[in-house]
Amino acid sequence: MSSSRSPLHCLSALGQSVWIDSLSREWIRGGKLSELIDQDAVVGATSNPTILQKAMSSGDAYDEQLRELAGRDAREVFWTLAEQDIGEACDVFRPVYDTGLARDGYVSIEVDPSLAYDSLASYREAIRLHETIARPNLLVKIPATKPGLAAIEDAIAAGHSINVTLIFSLQRYAEVAESYIRGLERLVAAGGDPHKVVSVASFFVSRIDTEADRRLDEIGGHDELKGRLAIANAKLAYQHSLQTFGGERFEELAGKGATPQRVLWASTSTKNPSYPDTLYVDELIGPDTINTMPLETVQAFQSHGTPKPTLQTGIAQAHSLFEELARAGVDYDDVTDTLEREGVEKFEASFSELIDELAAKLGLLAGV
């Protein structure tokens, strides 16, 4: 099969952008990233503290620079390394950004996860990262916590592109979309140019099934409800997106050059081995969306994925599923609140572990 007709190229032809949910210096400088662009229709990349921890704690790609930085604070060293990697990755994707009229070609870096509940600090860090990395195809990730919403709106109002991450609930997604629109309205009112601002709303998918299935196991029975909430949740989020960005309020902004905030499906690897390994790609294919996949999911979809429109099917069943889960005793709001809290905690733990590992490595390289 030629790459032009590969399953992922067919997926792209259906209007869904393929981003890679992984990044490392070895990939950037060794040609793997370029290979993914050429062969697998990958047109963007995302990173987070866990991804960067894996990249920096394995191999020796960073050792030479770490020797030069020995003696400096480990946190400062991390940002020096990460900002360089993300900047270089942006440069690899720059031709995608330029030829696609800024639709894709973006690379994401996340603010320090310890700032997730601090609006002002998150805003300031987002601005700092944009100014330091200074690439038009950079997206800075801000978690969609309640305090994060204000930081997101302020960053958009200041004319900076944002990837809103760690979205689990439909209510929070509605608030995220509102923050984006309010930010654009403020930007336009101040005389700014909205066509230079891009945002994506990163909906975490597989973790929702993991948590809902765990609760169903505790309750007992109801096997027919397992493995369904994540897809239903995403489909209803997409419906909200269509309504919000197809409405009169956004139409006025679009007339001034604003672009809709696309939904992005994150955490799309299958955690339950009894589920198909392409489940969270096959069932969520639709126009003007993004699926950011880890490498194993890219490879699985290229091998046996089914590229056909699925995102706007089964909407009535999605609504019904929420009612069925409630009757079974699964509290949707508690599921999503738990996942948001645990998501922040996991990223904080990964970041803390990475800083400790870097400190130890710096010590060794300095001969301490």
Q: Which domains does the chain have, with CATH numbers?
A: 3-365 (3.20.20.70)
The burial class, CB within 10 Å (0-12 / 13-18 / 19+), for 368 is exposed
**pLDDT tier, 4 (very low <50, low <70, confident <90, very high otherwise):** low
**Cα–Cα distance between 234 and 255 in angstroms, integer?**
28
The least confident of 49-63, 181-195, 207-221, 312-326 is 49-63
Catalytic pick among 54, 141, 226, 308 = 141
DSSP 282-301: HTT--TTEEEEE-HHHHHHH
Cα–Cα distance list, 197 to 71, 166, 238 (Å): 38, 20, 21
- Average pLDDT of 337-345? 97
The string of pLDDT tens digits covering residues 214-246 is: 999 999 989 999 999 999 999 999 999 999 999
What are residue 289's DSSP bridge partners? Answer: 16, 263
- Average pLDDT of 153-179? 98
Over the Cα atoms of the chain, what is R_g? 20
Residue 169 sits at φ, ψ, to 5 deg, of -100, 155
pTM as predicted: 0.95
**Cα–Cα distance between 107 and 124 in angstroms, integer?**
19
Q: Which is it for the CA torsion 235, 237, 243, 247, positive or negative?
A: negative
- Average pLDDT of 335-355? 94
Q: Is 256 a catalytic residue?
A: no
